[in-house]
Amino acid sequence: MKQAIRATELAALVPDGATVMIGGFMGVGSPERLIDALVTCGRRGLTVIANDSAVPGVGVGKLVTAGAVVRLVASHIGLNPETQARMNAGEIAVELVPQGTLVERIRAAGVGLGGVLTPTGLGTPVEDGKPVIEVEGRRYLLETPLRADVALIAARRADYVGNLEYFLTAQNFNPVMAMAAKLVIAEPEHIVPVGVIPPDAVRTPGALVDHVLGRAT
């Protein structure tokens, strides 16, 4: 049984300088209330691992605008001009990672693998400085695991033990990130009694979830 926690309390669990994974794809499936709480309490120095920085005012974009992010690991920043501007001004260090590599690096951390071998990025700037390993006559880049202090997860529904269910394209990075951080905080749209989410529909078992954000009051 998880206890529902308020956004203000959750923000206190994410200290300045933390590495934070944030689910979402262009803000779809992003934990907006948790992000708002981080902005409100004035967090600084965060390393954010996310697919993209959305657009200003949405998802990770809010943290960028608030000056909370010093390092961003993402596959795409092109639709948020503020990220580009802050990168050019030296305020945010951006590591661009191919999207499929990003999700597998996160997954590797979550499932106890020492990295992944991928052909993506060979012969491009992504290859720079990385070992190239040949397996069965094919060349691959060695990509290392990405882990975080905290993962902020958006879900459609959570039950009282923290089982999570996702909806349509709001899944994206959420179920993978929920395995790759020391502390996992879920922001469900609805909280339902145990049993309402059928076992086959549970995508993130409650055993992985540390806290569930309570209903907005």
Partner 1 sequence: MTDAREVIARRVAAEIRPGTLVNLGIGLPSLVANYIPADFGVFFQAENGVIGMGARPPEGMQDPDLTDAGGGFITAVPGAAAIDSAMSFGLIRGGHIDVTVLGGLEVDERGRLANWMIPGKMVPGMGGAMDLVTGARRVIVAMTHTNKDRPKIVARTELPLTSARPVDLIVTEMAVLAPTPDGLRLLEVAPGHDAAQVRRATGAALSD
According to DSSP, residue 129 is labeled: T
Binding mask 87-126 for partner 1 (x = CB under 8 A): x------x-x-xxxx-xx--x----------xxxxxxxxx
**Contacts of residue 148, Cβ cutoff 8 Å, sequence gap at least 6:** 18, 19, 20, 21, 49, 177, 180, 181, 182
Q: Could you say which of 145, 175, 206, 214 contacts partner 1 (CB under 8 A)?
A: 175
**Smallest Cα–Cα separation from 20: which of 78, 77, 59?**
59
Q: Residue 172 CB, nearest distance to partner 1 (Å)?
A: 5
Residue type, 26: M
Q: Is 170 in the site for partner 1 (CB under 8 A)?
A: yes
- Whose Cβ is closer to partner 1: residue 159's or residue 165's? 165
Compute the half-sphere exposure of residue 114: CA atoms within 13 Å on the CB side of its CA.
Answer: 1
Q: Which is nearer to partner 1, 47 or 51 (CB)?
A: 51
Q: In angstroms, rounded to a whole number, what is the distance separating the alpha carbons of residues 50 and 39?
A: 17
Q: Using CB under 8 A, which of the segments 3-11, 61-69, 169-177, 193-201 binds partner 1?
A: 169-177
Residues that bind partner 1 (CB under 8 A): 25-29, 51-52, 55, 74-79, 84, 87, 94, 96, 98-101, 103-104, 107, 118-126, 156, 166-176, 203
